[in-house]
């Protein structure tokens, strides 16, 4: 029984990662586009605010106790974080999510907890519509596959804005389309 659960879990995780990650790999023109875009707003997020979001997610049972402890321990390390945590919102609605080294390591250590935390960070930054949980978890998985040295300065995740369908159904949503180091 346990082997079946592990196998099903591995297959599901792989299928969730392959499509978004292949999209990230083949869209290398996004960096140049993001660097040349007009910025609408920059929202900085302090580690204390991140801890508050984490505690709220834990109290609302959105993350498990284990995930809470893993992420909290990463956020409370004594050595200072490298990089910054902020959201750079562009005029076209796309945005860059900067995760400092603490958050990069926390995301790689706890995928389900990281998904809740990242969606909480985006909501705190005022990104309307939020990000779809499945692509965010794929990003968390991809960050976890990156070598540890790449996470030492933090990462930048570029999110594309996806408009609702022409028929008007659905909401504005965001899809992570690229990861690069800070």
Res 56: pLDDT: 92
Beta strands in the chain (DSSP E): 39-44, 86-90, 95-99, 155-162, 173-181
pLDDT in tens, 77-133: 777 788 899 999 998 888 898 988 888 888 777 777 777 888 788 888 887 655 555
Which residue is it, tokens 């609605």? 93
Q: Give the three-class secondary structure for 88.
A: strand
Specify the pLDDT at position 26: 47
Query: By CB neighbour count within 10 A (0-12 exposed, 13-18 middle, 19+ buried), where does 30 fall?
Result: middle
Specify the range with the lowest mean pLDDT, choosing from 3-12, 58-67, 116-125, 157-166. Answer: 3-12
Task: Give the mean pLDDT of 8-37.
Answer: 54
What band does 42 get if pLDDT is binned at 50, 70 and 90?
very high
pTM for the model stands at 0.71
pLDDT at 3: 64
Q: What is the mean pLDDT of residues 64-81?
A: 84
| Local confidence band at 24 (pLDDT 50, 70, 90 cut-offs) | very low
């Amino acid at each position: 029984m346990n082997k079946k659960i592990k196998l099903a879990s591995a297959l599901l995780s792989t299928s969730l990662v392959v499509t978004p990650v292949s999209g990230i790999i083949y869209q290398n023109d996004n960096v140049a586009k993001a660097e040349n875009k007009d910025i609408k707003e920059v929202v900085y997020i302090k580690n204390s605010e991140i801890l508050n979001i984490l505690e709220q997610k834990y109290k609302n049972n959105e993350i498990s106790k284990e995930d809470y402890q893993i992420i909290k321990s990463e956020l409370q390390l004594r050595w200072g974080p490298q990089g910054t945590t902020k959201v750079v919102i562009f005029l076209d609605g796309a945005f860059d999510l900067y995760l400092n080294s603490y958050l990069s390591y926390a995301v790689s250590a706890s995928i389900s907890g990281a998904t809740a935390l990242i969606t909480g960070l985006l909501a705190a930054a005022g990104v309307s519509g939020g990000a779809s949980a499945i692509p965010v978890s794929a990003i968390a998985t991809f960050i976890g596959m990156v070598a540890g040295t790449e996470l030492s300065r933090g990462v930048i995740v570029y999110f594309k804005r996806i408009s609702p369908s022409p028929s008007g159904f659905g909401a504005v949503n965001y899809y992570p389309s690229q990861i690069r180091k800070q």
